Each structure stands twice: as C-alpha cells, then as structure tokens.
C-alpha cells in the first residue's frame, strides 16, 4: 500500500499551521518533509509528520522551546525524562510567581488610579520620602512638557535601567521666580526604586518627606493651572493653612495617553502647615 502524501499547503490546512511555521520547523531541523521533489522543489508530508507535528505542539504548550524539542527528537526516547519534567515544573512555578506578582502590581496600579479619579477635589495627604530621577530644563511653553517626557526623559530612563514602583509617581517643580508663559524653568521628577548613576540628562536624588500637603485635582490643559491655584489658595486661606514648601504638579493623564487636553488629569500638591 502506497504511503499517503500531502503537499505543504494541504498539510498546512489540515494541521492548522502556517506554511511559514512549517518552513521554520524545517530550517531548525525539527520537522523535515517526508519527501522533496528534486525537480519542482515541492514538499510532501506524510501521516508520520502529522503525528510528529501534534507532539511538537503538545510539547510547546507544556513550555518546551523548539530547541529543547529538537534535542528530545535527537535522543532515542523522543520524550522528556523525569528530570527534564521536574525542571520544567520548577520553571513554570517561577513564571507563575512572576505572573502573580505582575497581576498584584497591576491591581494596585488600577486601584490607585480609581482612587485618584474619584478623590475629593481637595484632600490633605502626607508625601513620603522618595528617590527620584530628575531632569531640569528651560522649555518654551507648557505644551512642551509632554514631548520632553516621552521623547527625551522616558528613553533616557529606559537606557539607564530605571525601575519605577507602581502605580507610578511623576511631577514637575517650577523654578521661575515669577510667572512666565514662555522660557519656563521646570524640573521633571519621577519616582524610582533606587539611586542610579547620573547622566547628562538624568540626575538622581532623594526628596524628604512632606508631612502635610494640600492636594487638588486639575482637569484640563496645563495652560489653565492658574484656575486651580486660585481655588487652592482660596481654600487654604479659608482653612487657615500656610505654604510650607515648594509645590508640585503631579501628572495622571496627559498627552502620552489622552489626546483631548480637556480630559487631562493632574494633581497640584502644595506643602502646608
């Protein structure tokens, strides 16, 4: 009885795998066609290749890489040993721990953002001591804050290997002695897990704790911060608070993830006593 042969396209359809994947398996020496026509170059697959491909896919689902699977087929047994299975179980348990940790961090981040979006317009909070990656620059206007962050500061922090604890805390401090709509001397700070090595763009420093700060939500473009400052200082006067340090502007949603400036969310933080 002659052996049944399938062209690569037919084999691809029946096994629900792309031709590109089959050629990749062939290049790795993992799944060779049963026959290759020397004149046409057509590749033909048999029932044996079907069974082998099924085994390959099963092993991949169990976490074995293609290189590991090839080693198994180079071996006589064609199946993982008890030692190999034990190692794969340990790897899976480690990956599971990492995924659980990632899920917990994402949950914390999500819950923090929910709290931020639903917080009262004014709140009194303490700001803990933190380590920040800092960048100070004179920018032409407030609209330049977004590009400065994601075109310059972000890539440099990534290059330096900065790790930011969730949910993420970034803010700016203005160093101008008086208001100016242009040539704004601004310092951008983002909380990081540890001190790093300074570069031409990023400097690392430790900021002391702020025992008490008035926090106020600002919704809208940065050019309207004055509206929120007016409200904040009126509230401080009514409550008998005084400014006790340099204010911060914390950014929650901005140009990097929200196109409409009217939906940008920031929090003004003013140390008080």
Q: CA 198, 135, 163, 218: dihedral to nearest 10 degrees? A: 160
Helix (H, G, I), strand (E, B) or coil at 74: helix
Stretch among 57-66, 203-212, 245-254 having the lowest mean pLDDT: 245-254
SS3 at position 47: helix
Return the bridge partners of 191, or none. 132
Q: What's the pLDDT band for 245 if we cut at 50, 70, 90? A: confident
Q: Is the pLDDT of residue 50 over 70?
A: yes
Q: What token pair was written down for 192?
A: 């990081």
Instruction: With cut-offs at 50, 70 and 90, classify the pLDDT of residue 206.
Output: very high
93: tokens are 């348990």
Beta-carbon count within 10 A of 79 CB: 12
Read off the pLDDT of each residue in 30-58 and give the average, rounded to a whole number: 85
**106-128 pLDDT, tens per residue?**
776 666 555 545 456 778 888 88
Mean pLDDT of 179-195: 84
Q: 44 with 35: CB under 8 angstroms?
A: yes
Give the Cα-Cα-Cα angle 101, 107, 113 (nearest 5 degrees). 140
Using one digit for the tens of pLDDT, what is the confidence trace for 152-171? 888 888 898 988 887 778 88
* 139-165 core/surface letters (b: 16 or more CB in 10 A; e: else): beebebbbebbeeebeebbeebebeee
Q: pTM above the 0.75 mark?
A: no
On the 0-12 / 13-18 / 19+ scale of CB atoms within 10 A, 112 is middle
DSSP structure string for 255-271: TTT-S-GGG-EEEEEEE
Distance CA 254, CA 221 (A): 9
Calculate mean pLDDT across residues 217-244: 84
Q: Are 268 and 247 in contact (CB under 8 A)?
A: yes
Cis check: omega of the bond before 167, within 30 degrees of 0: yes
Tokens, residue 132: 């920040």
**Backbone angles phi and psi of 229, in degrees to 5:** -65, -35
Instruction: List the strands of the sheet with 6-7, edge to edge.
Output: 6-7, 43-45, 35-36
Q: Which residue has the higher pLDDT, 95 or 81?
A: 95
Q: Residue 159 is encoded by which pair of tokens?
A: 């290059």
Q: Helix or strand or coil: residue 219?
A: strand
């Amino acid at each position: 009885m002659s052996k049944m042969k399938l062209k690569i396209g037919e084999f691809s359809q029946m096994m629900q795998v792309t031709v590109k994947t089959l050629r990749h398996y062939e290049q790795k020496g993992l799944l060779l066609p049963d026959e290759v026509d020397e004149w046409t170059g057509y590749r033909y697959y048999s029932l044996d290749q079907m069974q082998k491909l099924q085994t390959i896919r099963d092993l991949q689902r169990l976490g074995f890489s293609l290189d590991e699977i090839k080693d198994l087929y180079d071996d006589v047994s064609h199946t993982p040993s008890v030692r190999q299975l034990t190692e794969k179980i340990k790897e899976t348990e480690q990956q599971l721990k990492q995924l659980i940790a990632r899920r917990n961090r994402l949950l914390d981040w999500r819950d923090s953002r929910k709290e931020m979006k639903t917080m009262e317009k004014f709140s009194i909070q303490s700001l803990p001591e933190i380590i920040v990656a800092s960048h100070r620059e004179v920018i032409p206007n407030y609209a330049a804050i977004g590009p400065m962050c994601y075109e310059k500061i972000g890539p440099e922090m990534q290059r330096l290997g900065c790790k930011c604890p969730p949910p993420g805390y970034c803010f700016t401090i203005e160093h101008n002695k008086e208001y100016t709509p242009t040539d704004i001397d601004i310092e951008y700070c983002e909380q990081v897990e540890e001190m790093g090595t300074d570069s031409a763009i990023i400097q690392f420093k430790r900021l002391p704790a702020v025992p008490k700060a008035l926090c106020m939500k600002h919704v809208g473009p940065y050019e309207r911060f004055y509206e929120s400052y007016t409200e904040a200082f009126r509230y401080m006067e009514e409550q008998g608070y005084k400014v006790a340090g340099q204010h911060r502007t914390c950014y929650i949603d901005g140009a990097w993830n929200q196109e409409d400036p009217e939906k940008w969310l920031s929090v003004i933080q003013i140390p008080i006593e």
